[in-house]
Every structure is written in C-alpha cells, then in structure tokens.
Structure 1
C-alpha cells in the first residue's frame, strides 16, 4: 500500500482504522437477530484520515469498509434497503471527504518541504562555511534551525583571516523572514569588505552601524560580537554591540563569560548611546581552550518547565578537546533541553585556541621544520599543514 511504500517504518496508528473495522464487523456478527452495528462503519474512513496518511490509504480503507458492509449487510439489503443504502452512502461520503482533505494536507506538506529546502539554500548562500583553520585558530560551527516551518532567522557569522589577524563576527538580525535574510547578507558582505580595510574593531562597528542606519528600515538593528585575534599570540580584542557575551572554556572544565565591557546598543542604534561601542581585551587561555560564541536562540531556549538553557554550566560539563565533539555534545544537550525543537534559530561557533608555546631562549637553535616533499621543481607542505 502507498502508506507503506513511502514510509521507512510502519506507523502503528495505521492499524487503528483496520482494527476498528474488524471490531465492528465481529460485534455485528455476534449480535442477535434484528440488531446491527453497521452504522458505526461510517466512521472508519474518518479514522484513516485523522493520522498523517496518504489519500490512497484513506481510499483503500473506504473500499475495505464498503466490502465489509456488502458482505455483512447483505441480509439488511433485502429487509431494510433504506438503512443499507444510507450506510453505503455514508461510507462513500466520509471516504470522499477525508480523501480530499488528506490530499490537500499532502500538498501543504510538500509545499512546506519545498519552503524548507529554499530556506536551507538561502542560509547556505548567505552563511558560507567557516574555514576549519584560520591562522592559529580552529573553527567549528553549527547552525540550528528553529521548529517553525521554513522559518528564516537572521543569525549570522563569519570568520576571516586578514593582515590584522583572525577577525570574527557573530550576530543576530532583529525579526524573521526574507527581510532579515537580505539584511543578514548585506551585513556579512559589509563585514567581509571592512575586515580587510578597517584597522580597528571600533571603526568596523561604527561603519557597520552607519551602513545599517542608512538602510530603508529605520528600526533595523543587529546585535553583534566583533573579535580580533592577532597573529603571533598577541592580545585579542573584543567589541560587543548588544550581543550575549562570549563564553571562555578551559579544558579543565571551567567556564567564564567575557562580559567586562560596559553595555552598548546594537549596530544600527549606536546613535542612541552617543558614543561608539567600546573595545576591550579578550582573555585567551595560554594552555589552550575554546571560545564559544552563540546567539540568543541558545540561551533563551526553554524546557517544558520554562527554564532557560544553562549554557555556561552545560558547556563546562561537556567540554572536549576536539571542537567537533564539543559542538555535537552541546547540540544534543540543547535539543534535549528544548524537547527536540528549538523556538528560534541558533548559532554555536567554537574558536579552538591552540596552546601558546613558551618563549624560546635566544641561544637555542631554531626548531627544525617539517620535511618537505619535492615533486619536480615544486616544494609542497603536507596537506594538513603539520
């Protein structure tokens, strides 16, 4: 049957209308002469249409019901033709009604599936894959879509290597839908251009704010984190424009929110503060660790009791040396907390920080470089950079 061919497993609910058909038929046979329960068979096609089934399954159930009425109700056809005809008409009517309703639901489901595919394609076009390694930083990211059908959120991220070091943005555009996707793409395009040309993070924030303020929507704003990790292990820098603070994770299970900066408005609303977003130092563990960036879809995710997700506590308990393992564990834990469905889009981005080597005494000889493989006139480094 169609509902079996298009399913990876048989849904037990599909047996409900067939079981009801058998129960009514057996009860009718067991009744003494003069009694009949065939009128109840009119509801069997309705049971077939209540579950997520195909129109073919509803039609097949209606046909089986009609056959049962014809076999069991044959004596009724001669004794009470009106009642028999009414039962036949009722089964035909409910079958046709539920088949049409199920067919419309199938079309709606297909349309929603197409919308989800379009939404995923738009996200992939806007949010380019983060590089696995940029400078001395390994990058891993997870984009978690919300439970809404084909919902389009404005969460954004980008990681770039520039002459100023590794520059990162994580942000969240206000609202949902196609408008915020367009705005997210514009912000990311502006960031990618400014990352190579603007020498300071504060200058980047000001220029992004001016870019948003000149857009048609006067109420548009974006919460954002801007991070710069200079080459050579220098002091990292952070600018926070109304975004949740990053979480610093050490490999020994300690977690610390980097929230020492004074609060600042989101990008697009800096004019309200009358001064630019302040920048501040971003402490990085010398022994290696992770910097976890995220959007409010993570921390504002609620469980059945309405409690927010305790990110710092859970991330410290689930910390792993490998950033992929950490994100896999966090994603599973977050979805379990939310009952399997997030209420909003969410981004989890991990910057895995390699340990900073101790300074080498000036008298020590330089460390030998990795052996090169020579092919013709070209010298190749190993593919993984080690």
Structure 2
C-alpha cells in the first residue's frame, strides 16, 4: 500500500491544479487564433477547484476567472472577427463566467458540509467497531493471538463477521462467526451475538449451554430467515474443546503441517436450532497454531478462473513455525488480496491463536528430599504452624476433630506414643 500524502501536501497539490488550468486558458486565448473565442473556458478553473479545494479557494479562482474575462472586453484588438467585439457578446461571456463561478462556490460549500458529516459518521462507525469487535490482546493465558478484519464494502471497516476472545475460569474462550447477509442488519445481529457471548462466557461452564443461549438470542433478535454460523473454542491448558454451528472448520497447524479440525457432525447455525453433535475435544502441544476464519476466506475466488482460495496451502505458507504470528497473518491477508486482485465479495475475519505456555521454574531434584523431610518431620525437629497456640486450643489450618495417628501422637508426646518416644513439646516452647 502506498503511503498517503500528508494533508498539507495533498491540499497544496490540489490547489495548484485549477491555477494551471486558468493560466493555460489565458495563454491559449492570447496566443491562439483570434477567430475563436476560448476565454469563456475560464469557468473550468473554479468548477475544478470546487471538486478539489474549499469554498474560499474556489471563490478566489472564480474571481480570477471573472477578472481575466473582463480584461478581454477592453478594446485591445484581441478579436477582429465579426461579432467578437460586440458589447452584448462580451456581457454574455462575463455572465457565463460569473454564473459558473457562483455555482462552483456553492458546490464546494456543499461538498465540504458533506465531508464533515461523513467524518462524523466515520467516527461513530469506528466507535461501533470497537464496541462490536473487542480489542484482542497479543497474549492471553497460554495463547498468543492475532486478528484481522477486512470488509467487502470499500468505505466500511466492519460488517456481519464477528470474533471475540475472553479469559474465564474455564480457560480462554473464543467465538468466531458470520451473520447472514450484509449491511446494517448483519452488523446489528453480529453485535447482539458478540454482546451476549461476552456475558455468557463468564457465567456458563458448559460450552453447549453457551451455544444454545446464543441460538436463542439470534432467534429473538433476528428475522425468520436470519442466522449466524459460528465456531466456539475453549482452551484450558492443553485441552481444546470445539463446538461448530455451521461454520468453516478451523485449521490446526502442528509443526507446520495443516489439517482441519473437523467435527464428526455439524450443528445447524445459530438461529436455526443449533442442534447436532456434542463438543469435540482434542489436545494441544506447545507450538500448535489454530486459524479461525469466516467463509469470506474459504469462498474467495480468483476473478478470471473462478478458483477458490487454497486455504490449507496458504495457511501452511503464511503461518509456519518460523514466522511470527502477526506477521504470518499479514502474509495470509496479502496472499488473499493477490488471489482476488483486491476484489473481495464478502467480509473476511481472521483470528490466529498459538499455544505457547510460558516455561515455569521447577525445584531442583536435589532439593526434593530436604523439602520432604521438612514437611514430614524426618530428621528435623517439628515446628508449629504459623498461628499455633499452646494447650488444647486449635492450631490454625488444622482440624480439632481429626483423628490423631500414632506417629502424630508420638510427635506431640501424647499418651500412647510409646515409652521411648521423645517429647517434642519442649521444641515448640
């Protein structure tokens, strides 16, 4: 992608284009065939300025065009043809230039108002996008994460595709989906599903209950023909659980080799009952990468040959183990753009997750016997726990009703400990 010009550079560059046109018309009028009247073409300059600059600059060009048009009315011998020196002809030319300049100023002012409204709407759309598609951190729990969203609409940043990631007591939970249709209706339905998932993911333990509740929300919020395809994933340590409701199967890359995480059966989409198979369970190993995507990727076609985008080979090439996750996802997006020649027909949401548990320090093996001796009292004097009290009062962290074992009785000097058992009460004191 080319770097856009700064606003100041772009503004000055656009302002000079009408000036070039104005000077070109004046030069052609002075040096051209006197039999032809081209001075009226000066009106092109303010009309062009109306499309490129603001009302003030447009008004300046309109005034300049009118001045140059008035100068040709002075009897300097510019025109010698019949009728060219007529006062009526001169007035008509000036009237055309003045009218064109006034129209240009009004058009420039209207364009500026529309651009202001468009910026306001874009700002609101950005806020809506952040509300619908939450910010996904680069790392959450044992996962590294990367996301990308491309809308099929040229002027939109968000559509009917959705994704959400949240950390819960049951692990990291992921939802990727695609609402039927396009436009505001699809955006509204996607926002309802995303908001419902954010609440349910923190309160329901069973993944099937979450999917059933999302299905009920689509039924309540959507029309009779609306539905949402979705895939739910829960990653808790090495355990992976998937529930697929009519959505494209995620891609698992293990040591660079891709395969689909396909269920034995598939639930119907949300809003259509979402009935079908139960949760699909699997296990992850360190370095595994999972690509979640919407059908905008799987159904993307090459414009001329109508070939589908090769998801598995492209994912293998872009998300290999040697590549950083976010860089690999960017390469996959670039490959999709080359395949479709930047002509997406549907929204594309991508979410890549890498299972990368942090390394944890372990106690050296040589220290284990000493730790066990300290715990079990072998070869070391007994120490009262923190908060211990003398006499018959309970010791913090210990149950007063727990039966005392012979070993414990011996350690405390209780009756029945044996004649030769040492009394450790003095050690407590």
How far residue 32 of structure 1 moved from its aligned partner, in angstroms, is 5.3
Match of 1:218 among 215, 224, 233: 224
Equivalent residue, structure 2, for 1:246: 250
SS at match of 2:10: coil
Matches within 5 A, 1:313-332: 313-319=313-319, 320-332=322-334
Match of 2:379 in 1: none
Report the secondary structure of 2:190's partner residue: helix
Residue 59 of structure 2 aligns with which residue? 59
Unpaired stretches in structure 2, ≥5 consecutive residues: 369-429
Partner of 1:95: 101
Per-residue deviation, 1:267:
0.6
Q: How does 1:224-239 map to 2 (within 5 A)?
A: 224-231=230-237, 233-234=238-239, 236-239=240-243
How many angstroms apart in 1 are the aligned matches of 2:111 and 2:307? 34
Query: What secondary structure, in the 3-state scheme, does the structure 2 residue paired with 1:325 have?
Result: helix
Task: Give the match for residue 126 of structure 1.
Answer: 132
User: Where do residues 1-386 of structure 1 align in structure 2 (5 Å cutoff)?
Assistant: 6-9=7-10, 15-31=16-32, 35-49=36-50, 51-75=51-75, 79-150=85-156, 152-215=158-221, 217-231=223-237, 233-234=238-239, 236-250=240-254, 252=256, 254-270=257-273, 275-282=275-282, 284=284, 286-301=285-300, 305=304, 309-319=309-319, 320-335=322-337, 342-354=344-356
- The CA distance in 2 between the partners of 1:45 and 1:250, in whole Å, is 63
Deviations 1:69-90 (A, max 9, x none): 2334422699321111111111
Question: Within 1, Cα distance between the matches of 2:155 and 2:268?
Answer: 31
- Residues 164 and 32 of structure 1: is their aligned pair in 2 closer, same or farther, counting only changes over 3 Å? closer
Count of residue correspondences? 352
Q: Distance in 2 between matches of 1:351 and 1:151?
A: 22
Alpha-carbon separation, structure 2, partners of 1:189 and 1:39: 61
Q: Which runs of 5+ in 1 are unaligned?
A: 367-386
Query: CA offsets per residue over residues 282-332 of structure 1, 9 Å max, x none?
Result: 464x35132111223344455654665444333322225422222333344
Normalized against structure 1, the TM-score is what?
0.77
- Cα distance between partner residues in 2 of 1:245 and 1:212: 21
> What secondary structure sits across from 2:9 in the alignment?
coil
The alignment's TM-score, normalised by the length of structure 2, stands at: 0.70
Q: Which of structures 1 and 2 has the larger relative contact order (alpha carbons within 8 angstroms, sep 6+)? A: 1
* Greater alpha carbon shift after TM alignment, 95-104 vs 12-21: 12-21
For the 8 Å contact 1:270–1:276, the answer to whether it is kept is: no
The aligned counterpart of 1:377 is none
How far apart in 2 are the matches of 1:24 and 1:79?
19
Q: Deviations for 1:11-48, whole angstroms, at most 9, x for unmatched residues?
A: 76654433332232222222455553223323333333
Q: Is the 8 A contact 2:301 2:308 kept in 1?
A: yes
Give CA deviations for 1:158-215 in whole Å, capped at 9, x if unaligned: 2223333322111122234554444333323332343344443333222321232244
* Matches of 1:88 and 1:350, distance apart in 2: 65
Distance 1:313 1:212 in 2: 34
